Structure 1
């Protein structure tokens, strides 16, 4: 389906004639097929543009709105579910991911969510997202990225929710920026939800634009990061995690390895690396991270025989012997103490 069909205009008489033929073809389809086209739109923004093409399509949308928005919601929710599942298999504690009931988190009623100031669709997305239990957070155990923790909306706990002024400030900053493509500008604040925040100086904030279906990555110190469709964003990260190009280490921020990653087709032999012994130097971070990558492979990642608990213990034992690893401890008041071992 062309951009002109979605937006309802064209740039020349010849293209206008062509689009009229295309629209005529769409209008000639059975109503159920028209509704199915809405269900397969890439995001809510495109679906709204299509429904505005003509009265008949708008009526089809309204008659099928619950199933259409449910399908569009799943496009946003499924990548989070898959990403959290991968991280839980890699390193998250077994009880860390909270999965909503089929109808969504019961505490997130329409009335209770009014305080968030979001659109009904944005609220519905939040109502069906999985979340991370706060019992493990702030130890860099369930971090999603560099000093980055998932926000938990499931109970609408005021202590968990992002401050509205902070969330709006991030959205305003992004609205003032122009990305490499015209579609990279973030939508109105009411469509945008903060799905991950940072409690550190620096760190990464993730904003989900539920209208365009994109993740906007913001580095607190460095400014804007990537802005991608949510499925593409998490698929890229998952591939890098599987290949151990992005390496998570408890008590430390995830580390990027600037190489092609591991060859998943070749069975790993830990013998040669084990015979070398773990790095003695605490000055070469890449060498130490390389040893952690070796431990992941030694214990079977990413295969079905991966021994997570044994791997996490081996990594923890190794990092405890290395002075450069930052250890973070959560105090009773929820603050973070970061220190280096002497």
Structure 2
């Protein structure tokens, strides 16, 4: 997933926000809503960091000269909330399927100029069609672009997907992004997970429906959601479920 800043490809003197249809604060509100939902559902609330008055002190135009972003985007990054990076392979801070967060509030000026931070660990192909600013690009593994969304719409969809549990977080595993059908199924009619074929992997339909049922049983997405109980119940379910591989 990548946020396009089309102006970064133009002259370094270009600093206008005209390419972006929304204000900085509207983007911040949309991303904050998304992070609030994920920290309510599964990410520790203590992992969410909100910018101090005046923004993150390490993110300044002079420290981002080699970053290749417009002044508008640098100012946006300076005031965004961030989620503390989880331990490698812990999946603790995932906000989407195989999508980990990047905490710009702790990036040094040297790191802002690095090729790895600007381009990511896998360099995307350069023969794609141009992408306008204010666009979120959805990439499949190995950098194959799939589709593009307006940024505000993208984060609104993420919020709704977590509320309805189309996206399902599972401690120790990648976020599930598989099933469009989010209807609830009573536990009495759910298949016995012990009877399913382990060769189908952990994300067989039976498991996904059970996991969704567990979260809803513990109150999600209501104000009475019992987060710690839900996460323990999900972890316990995965421990007693047979499967042949881990994703």
Q: Could you say which TM-score interval applies, normalised by the shorter chain?
A: 0.7 to 0.9
Mapped pair 1:109 → 2:60: yes
1:303 corresponds in structure 2 to 222
Unaligned runs of 5+ in 2: 1-16
Alignment partner for residue 76 of structure 2, among 125, 130, 139? 125
The residue number in structure 2 matching 1:29 is: none
Alignment partners' CA distance in 2, 1:120 and 1:111:
10
* Deviation string, structure 1 residues 175-205 (Cα, Å, up to 9, x no partner): 5323xxxxxx225xxxxxxxxxxxxxxxxxx
Superposed CA offset, 1:238-287 (max 9, x none): 21221112212122222235344237xxxxxx8x5158675113344111
Greater displacement, 241-250 / 309-318: 241-250
Q: 1:294 aligns with which of 213, 216, 221?
A: 213
Alignment of structure 1 residues 263-302 onto 2, 5 Å: 272-273=186-187, 278-280=192-194, 281=196, 282-284=198-200, 285-302=204-221
Q: Distance between the aligned counterparts of 2:162 and 2:25, measured in 1?
A: 23
Distance 2:70 2:20 in 1: 16
**1:130–1:326 CA distance, 2 compared to 1 (3 A):** farther
Q: State TM-score, norm by structure 2.
A: 0.78
1:119 CA displacement: 1.8
User: Higher mean Cα deviation, 139-148 or 249-258?
Assistant: 249-258
1:162 and 1:290 mapped to 2: Cα distance?
Answer: 45
* Bigger Rg, structure 1 or 2: 1
Partners of 2:29 and 2:46 lie apart in 1 by 19
Matched, 1:320 2:239: yes
SS of 1:251 mapped into structure 2: coil
From 4, 9, 30, give the equivalent of 1:79.
30
Q: Which deviates further from its counterpart, 156-165 or 224-233?
A: 156-165
> 2:163 aligned to 242, 245, 259, which one?
242
Q: How does 1:155-194 map to 2 (within 5 A)?
A: 155-157=106-108, 163-164=114-115, 167-168=118-119, 173=125, 176-178=127-129, 185-186=130-131
Q: 1:260 to 1:147 in 2, by over 3 A?
A: closer
Alpha-carbon distance change, 160 to 138 in structure 1, aligned in 2, over 3 angstroms: farther
- Could you tell me how far apart the structure 1 residues matched to 2:95 and 2:80 are? 15
Number of matched pairs: 225
Q: Specify whether residues 260 and 318 from structure 1 end up closer, same or farther in structure 2 by C-alpha distance, changes over 3 A only.
A: closer
RMSD of equivalent CA atoms: 3.1
CA distance in 1, matches of 2:20, 2:84: 34
For the 8 Å contact 1:251–1:326, the answer to whether it is kept is no
The change in CA–CA distance for 1:167 and 1:261 in structure 2 (over 3 A counts) is same
Q: 8 Å contact 1:171–1:186 — kept in the other structure?
A: no
CA positional deviation for 1:127: 0.5
